[in-house]
Amino acid sequence: MADAMASAGPLKVWLDRDGALLRLRLARPKANICDAEMIAALQAALDAHRGAHGLRGVLLDHEGPHFSLGASVHEHLADRCAAMLASLHALILTLAEFPAPVLVSVRGYCLGGGIEIALAGGPIFAGRAAVFGQPEIRLGVFAPAASCLLPWRVNAIDAEDLLCSGRDVGVDEAKAMGLVFRVDDDPEAAALAYFDTHLATRSATSLGCAMQAVRAPRVRELRQRLAEVERLYLDRLMITHDANEGLAAFIAKRPPAWEHR
């Protein structure tokens, strides 16, 4: 059922279900930080398998107790964040445009850049101890991709709450607001069962057309919105005292001293 597993740095990649299912596993526990190396590995794997004959789905899951504790804070610093945002947003668009459903399995914490990657996929299957959050505002910055993606899943007030409070939400609240598709003791098994029942017997060509039909308007909007929020982040936010202070304080493990400028 499964082809030989290949490891691309922090990511394990293999084909399952006789080539019908692409498996992508974040493999740098316990944090599974979504840094430049992880982003590049995910991008390469998706590019390599895009349009593969008979591919009917992708399952993105993880090793260790947590899906991801977020992006690299060091890569958010002023001299590095432009490259980080460019690569992350390219990956977000690749996931959003992928011509097969992307299922996501989450246990433990799914935060920051990790939740942005999950949001760009499709249904999120979550374990009962899963926790979701966009903590960027606590560091004096904001989450560009999540600002675009959360309104796909939740209503405007819930999106603003998550983005502006930076609070974590448990799986029951995440399910109630529409962030999570299904809660299960074994989210990976639940995602595989969904694939076997609902996708494996479908035409890969038809699934690709269905994905394009349902996502094309949102992808067009996403491409424009990502460019807008990226400029806001780089041209307005990262020239402020508080954005740089918040990141520096986090790295130094001290409270930030906000000056509101």
Average pLDDT of span 112-132: 98
> Hey, which CATH number is domain 1-186+202-261, 3.90.226.10, 1.10.3720.10, 3.40.50.1100, 2.40.420.20?
3.90.226.10
State the pLDDT confidence band at 1, using cuts at 50, 70 and 90. Answer: very low
What pLDDT does 8 receive?
62
Residue 34 has pLDDT above 80, yes or no: yes
**237-254 pLDDT, tens per residue?**
999 999 999 999 999 999
141: closest CA among 4, 250, 27, 22? 250
pTM for the full model? 0.95
Q: What pLDDT, in 10s, does the model give residues 137-190? A: 999 999 999 999 999 999 999 999 999 999 999 999 999 999 999 999 999 999
Is pLDDT above 90 for 9? no
**Could you tell me the two tokens for 137?**
């505002």
Q: Given a cut of 70, is residue 4 above it in pLDDT?
A: no
pLDDT at 106 (0 to 100): 98
For residues 1 and 184, the model is more confident at 184
Q: Phi/psi of residue 165, each to 5°?
A: -85, -30
pLDDT over 90 percentage in the chain: 96
pLDDT digits 0-9 by tens, 36-87: 999 999 999 999 999 999 999 999 999 999 999 999 999 999 999 999 999 9
Q: What are phi and psi of 20, to 5 degrees?
A: -80, -20
- The alpha carbon torsion through 66, 256, 157, 72 (nearest 10 deg) reads -40
pLDDT value of position 205: 97
pLDDT interval class at 198 (50, 70, 90): very high
pLDDT band of residue 6 (cuts 50, 70, 90) is confident
3-state SS, residue 175: helix
CB-CB contact of 133 with 179 (8 Å): no
Mean pLDDT of the residues in the chain: 96
Please tell me the distance from the alpha carbon of residue 75 to that of residue 119, in angstroms, as a whole number: 21
Domain locations along the chain: 1-186+202-261
Instruction: In whole angstroms, give the CA distance from residue 251 to residue 41.
Output: 25
